[in-house]
Structure 1
Amino acid sequence: MKKYIVGLSLVLLGLGLAGCGSTTNESSSDSSGKAATSSTVKDETLEVKDSNGKVTVPKNPKKVVVFDNGSLDTLDALGVGDTIVGAATDNLPAYLKEYKKVDSAGGIKEPDLEKINQMKPDLIIISGRQSDFLDQLKEIAPTMYLAVDTSNTWNSIKQNVETLGQIFGKEKAAKKQLAELETSIKETKAKAEESKDKALTVLVNEGQLSTYGKDSRFGIVYDTFGFAESDDAIKASTHGQSVSYEYVLDKNPDVLFVVDRTKAIGGDDSNNNVADNELVAQTTAGKNKKVISLQPDVWYLSGGGLESVKMMLDDVNKAFE
């Protein structure tokens, strides 16, 4: 009888130890009391590359504040626009007007930190215009800096789109749309090279001209869309190289692309009709009606997104009509 009792005790003790051992192998519970497996925890964040290097961001964020309009249009094209809770709503291009309904996150150059904090975003996406606020924004939520590298425009755009696709679980959709864009870009580039037309890109602001060449703000015209430069000595600069109408006549472009900054952000545009200028009218572009107005809000306020690159392609293809 004693042996039976001792044996039974050992069995019960063993079962108890086994039960204790199983609890040590269980995943810890989250604040809601639900067990979170190690794989789930791992999937909650991922490391991606932005314009500053590696950054850790949430996977499939539900609340996003976006200042970079190119990223905003990419999220829209990928079908995750419903995650956007804040944007620089006063500086949205017309094609993104539906996002004026989201909360304003401040100006395009000066984020409203207090307002953004109240939004409690999971992710913030900025461009160069907000880069001075990067450290302050990081204190609110993980912040990505997505700029377009003007020395490698198309590859830079592709990387940004693929990164957003990865974050939002839209990798296939991103690759499909990029492939379609790449086909259109190749077609445009082939036309530009075949035409042998030399182009000049200018920005007009209340009657004053600045020009931009390869490796600059509007360098996509040359390095991606394939147009030759009428002036290959333009210094790369964010704000462009200040020039005169005499300069335009001297360079005599076959195609003159014009971005009207005043129309994009407001101001006096009474002296902005470049095509009507008497000196421009004497250029090959003027004579052949190849002074082409680019959609100002797309080129000045956006660019670098799946939707905006399509619109930019439509603009430059007017040179072949």
Structure 2
Amino acid sequence: MDLFRTSLLAANLVAAAIAPAWAGATTLTTAHGPVEIVRTPETVLTFDIGTLDTLDALEVAVAGVPDPILLPTLAHLQESGLPKIGTLFEPDFEQVFALHPDLIIIGARSAGQMDPLSKIAPTVDLTLPLDDLENAVVTQTRELSALFGKEEKGAELTAHLQDSLQTLRALVEGKGRALIVLTNGPKISAYGRGSRFGWIHDSLGVAPAIEDLEVSTHGEAVSFEFLHETNPDWLIVLDRGAAIGADSQSAQATLDNELVASTTAMQKGQVIYLNAADVYVATTGIRSFQRTVDQFLTAFGG
């Protein structure tokens, strides 16, 4: 039967069998437009860690996992004996084919694999826009929960996230300006509105310390002098090395500098070292997003 009904993807998505569509067809919002799925998939693979986080939160089983997953809270899947289906970037096509999936999910890092994976099984790109992260994550969680008959769990997860965000936005108001920095060994990049991590300002309500940062996937390379001159009230830190398991200089070591130490953020102890994998690897997962919000709630006194 046809798993999908969509004019946009009909040329690429081939169904495995022919049978009547079930009554509760579900529409998924994808990077290529809406896709209607007309039956519940039974053998699911995802190369997107944010989606894997959400599926696991919804208690939806997958038939295989990427290797490495990089998200410590999903270590149970890494160690479960499930088949390894490739990396976040490069599928193991033979293994994917051998598992006979009836739905493959890609996103972000794996988005470029749409065409080859679509030749194996119906494939959807669930890459989410980051400019309205709350709405994107809530919508995707609700759609996936409907697809797999987990509506009650989905409603619980999304309600908790939305309540937490409402509380956080009230807490951060008037609490000062923040600068988001990513360390990569000894290197430092800063991020502002509209950037990869700009949702921290836009969705969480944290005021930016500077408005004219370069909008770039990799941020704007900055110096210790820049941090000193910007003098943020809050410093929000991501450690790329920690996120990807690299043996590199830690963010704490990189920022152990007299110029940085003199900033208001350091002087007041207002430095938030975010769980790097949650933000860098699994930004759009319902639980990873919730954990990030919880970190901010703790830091701002919630």
How high is the TM-score relative to the length of structure 1? 0.82
Identity across the alignment (%): 36
Report the number of matched residues.
282
Distance 2:241 2:250 in 1: 10
The runs of at least 4 aligned residues of structure 1 exceeding 6 Å deviation read none
Which of 1 and 2 has greater Rg? 1
Confirm or deny that 1:162 pairs with 2:142. Answer: yes
Listed one character per residue, the Cα deviations across residues 80-119 of structure 1 (whole Å, up to 9, x for unaligned) are 1x2x012213133001111112211111111112211111
TM-fit CA distance, 1:280: 1.0
Q: Which one of the candidate residues 220, 226, 232 is aligned to 1:241?
A: 220
**SS of structure 1 residue aligned to 2:73:** helix
What secondary structure is seen at the aligned counterpart in 2 of 1:87?
coil
Question: Is 2:198 aligned against 1:198?
Answer: no
Question: In structure 2, do the counterparts of structure 1 residues 271 and 156 end up closer, same or farther at CA, with 3 Å as the change threshold?
Answer: closer
Q: Do the aligned residues in 1 keep the contact of 2:238 with 2:251 (CA within 8 Å)?
A: no
Q: CA deviation at 1:44?
A: 8.2
* Alignment partners' CA distance in 2, 1:201 and 1:268: 22
Deviation at 1:188, TM superposition (A): 0.7
Aligned to 1:180: 160
Report the counterpart of residue 85 of structure 1 in structure 2.
63
Q: Quick one: distance in 2 between partners of 1:119 and 1:259?
A: 36
**3-state DSSP of counterpart to 1:256:** strand
**In structure 1, distance between residues paired with 2:23 and 2:218:** 41
Asked whether 1:120 is paired with 2:100, we answer yes
1:314 aligns with 2:294: yes
**Aligned Cα root-mean-square deviation (Å):** 2.0
* CA distance in structure 2 between the aligned counterparts of 1:125 and 1:79, rounded to whole angstroms: 16
In structure 1, the gaps of 5 or more residues are 1-30
The one of 226, 234, 249 aligned to 1:255: 234
- Work out the CA distance in 1 between the residues paired with 2:200 and 2:131: 12
**Aligned partners of 2:28 and 2:34 also within 8 Å:** yes
* 1:262-321 CA distance string (max 9 Å, x none): 112133423632442221101100101112211111111112122111110122234324
| Unaligned stretches of 5+ residues in structure 2 | 1-16
Q: How does 1:1-321 map onto structure 2 within 5 Å? A: 38=20, 41-43=21-23, 46-57=26-37, 59-80=39-60, 82=61, 84-100=62-78, 101=80, 102-195=82-175, 197-270=176-249, 272-273=251-252, 274-321=254-301
State the shift of 1:43 in Å.
4.1
Could you report, residue by residue, the CA deviation over 1:192-250 in whole angstroms, capped at 9, with x for unpaired residues?
Answer: 0142x101111111111111212222222111111000011123222212111211111
| C-alpha separation in 2, matches of 1:45 and 1:91 | 30
CA distance in 2, matches of 1:235, 1:152: 19
User: How far, CA to CA, are the matches of 1:148 and 1:50 in structure 2?
Assistant: 8
C-alpha contact 2:71 2:277 (8 A) present in aligned 1: yes
Q: Structure 1 pair 47/148, CA: closer, same or farther in 2 (3 Å)?
A: closer
Highest RCO, 1 vs 2 (Cα 8 Å, sep ≥ 6):
2
How much has 1:191 moved relative to structure 2? 0.5
Question: Quick one: structure 1 residues 43 and 237, their matched pair in 2 at CA, closer, same or farther if it must change by over 3 Å?
Answer: farther
What's the counterpart of residue 20 of structure 1?
Answer: none
